[in-house]
Copies of this chain bind each other. A is one copy, B any other.
Amino acid sequence: MESRNQTFENLPGDKRERVLAEATREFAEHGYHQASVNRMVQRLGIAKGSLFKYFGSKQGIFEYLFGQTVAEFKKPLKAIRDDASGDLFERIERTLLAGADFVATHPLVYSIYLKMVYQEGFPMRDTFLSEIRRASDKFLRTLVANAAESGQLRPDIDPDMAVLHLDAVMDRFLQSCAVAALNPGVATIPDRATIRARARGVADFLRHGLGGPLHQQSKEIQCKS
């Protein structure tokens, strides 16, 4: 067995946490390349050599964080998946709120995630992203399949496309909870009440669309028959 990282594991718990918290902050604020090991050790008040003894390299630091984080990232989804109460759109709404909670309590982790998506050159980027995507895709696909069976979904819509749209809208909702610039007009992070209202609005929109009476004609015909 290689004794990698043994030094770091032996450290007292509070010091470990301080180091990881500081590293998380640094990567969240600056992305990968622009993150500075010098800054980390300076803020931690420890010597640079120590950090490199713990993790071997800058990439080592990031990958350690990364491993710790991925599991936590998936937890909220599992809880929702196992709670089958309500129809598709109610479950979606619960998922949105769970996601918003996660972003609110782990803003730095979510910030790293966003930077990884749009910034190339992160170590492990492809591995990580495909893993996350696959999990999310599987989750939505299950939801959609169940909904389609019980007629909660328009029969003329391709389930794959439905998953695509759900993913798009939900992901964007999450981003708007974290990125100020994505909130039109105000350009600030919304508060909890706004988020709850918006989640409901999103679910309602997903259910019924935006089309007005002029576009309900086809459905009126259905009524007459």
Contact = CB atoms under 8 A, between A and B. Distances in A.
Contacts of A220: 223
A44 interface: no
Q: Which of A31, A154, A169 has most B Cβ within 10 Å?
A: A154
- How many subunits of this chain does the assembly comprise? 2
Interface string A183-210: 0110100000000001001101111111
A13 interface: no
Contacts of A121: 30, 34
B211 A152 contact: yes
Interface stretch (A4-12, A97-105, A112-120): A112-120
A21 interface: no
Interface in A52-69: none
A137 B185 contact: yes
- Centre residue among A29, A202, A209 by max chain B CB count within 10 A: A209
A61 to B, nearest CB: 18
Contacts of A181: 117, 129-130, 133
A205 B213 CA distance: 16
Nearest to A161: B201
Highest count of chain B CB atoms <10 Å: which of A87, A163, A207, A212: A212
Given A119-B119, A151-B212, A165-B205, 6 more contacts: A154-B209, A158-B201, A164-B198, A166-B210, A168-B168, A206-B209
25 contacts: A34-B34, A87-B215, A88-B210, A115-B118, A115-B119, A130-B187, A137-B185, A147-B212, A148-B212, A151-B213, A152-B214, A153-B210, A154-B209, A154-B211, A154-B212, A155-B212, A157-B210, A161-B198, A164-B176, A168-B169, A169-B169, A207-B209, A209-B210, A220-B223, A223-B223
Interface of A: 29-31, 33-34, 87-89, 114-115, 117-121, 129-130, 133, 137, 147-148, 150-155, 157-158, 160-169, 171-173, 176, 179, 181, 184-185, 187, 198, 201-202, 204-216, 219-220, 222-224
